[in-house]
Amino acid sequence: MARVLCNGCFDLLHAGHREFLKVAAQFGDLTVGLNSSWSIRQAKGMERPYQSEAVRRAALEKLGYKVQLFDGDSDKLVQILNPDIIVRGWDQKISDEDRKHIVVLLPKFGDISTTKISRDPIEVPCTGTSAGTLDSSPECSGQRGGDQI
């Protein structure tokens, strides 16, 4: 079976991430390179990531993926793991190191992103305990959330 690698931040894991990972896993034995919190702050600013390394890792592992934490240097990750296939997202650059392997470039899945979720959270209605009715209690009103696990 082919050794497959993809990597990313996977902060506020959403449906687009999940579809990307599902497709990537179809190419073989998938390892997910997970950017360290330090590397995310370097790339995206001090307000990121929204979730800790432990939370992001646990979410990926709960979905059944092998996870390798790394410092943000994807070329170094590729050299260490030496995959047969590298799966990149639509917004990821393909490096010279990547080109030494088979590279699959996947499209964006849906109109969702961590940045979009953080700027425009999706309303999530609360439900009552008995018949699934909407709960209008004060502790429920105004509750916000996103498509995350």
Report if residue 86 sits inside a domain: yes
Distance CA 63, CA 21 (A): 10
- 71 in a structural domain: yes
Residue 83 in domain = yes
Q: Return d(Cα 101, Cα 99) in angstroms, integer.
A: 5
In the chain, the number of structural domains is 1
* pTM recorded for the entire structure: 0.77
CATH number at residue 35: 3.40.50.620
Note down pLDDT in tens along the chain; length 149 residues.
999 999 999 998 999 999 999 999 999 999 999 999 999 999 999 999 999 999 999 999 999 999 999 999 999 999 999 999 999 999 899 999 999 999 999 998 888 777 777 777 655 444 444 343 333 434 333 333 333 22
The amino acid occupying position 118 is S
Report how far apart, in Å, the C-alpha atoms of 83 and of each of 26, 63, 137, 143 are: 14, 21, 52, 43
pLDDT at residue 130, rounded to an integer: 39
Assess if residue 21 is contained within a domain.
yes
Asked whether residue 29 is domain-assigned, the answer is yes
Of 3, 9, 6, the C-alpha closest to 55 is 9
Domain housing 43: 3-105
DSSP state letter for 122: E
116 in a structural domain: no
Q: What is the Cα–Cα distance from 148 to 116, expressed in whole angstroms? A: 12
Angular region, 45: left φ>0, alpha ψ -120 to 50, beta rest: left
Does the residue 48 lie in any domain? yes
For residue 16, what are the β-bridge partners? none
The pLDDT value recorded for residue 121 is: 62
What is the b/e burial string over 27-46, where b = at least 16 CB atoms within 10 angstroms of the residue's CB? bbebbbbbbbbebbeeeeee
Residue 136 lies in a domain: no
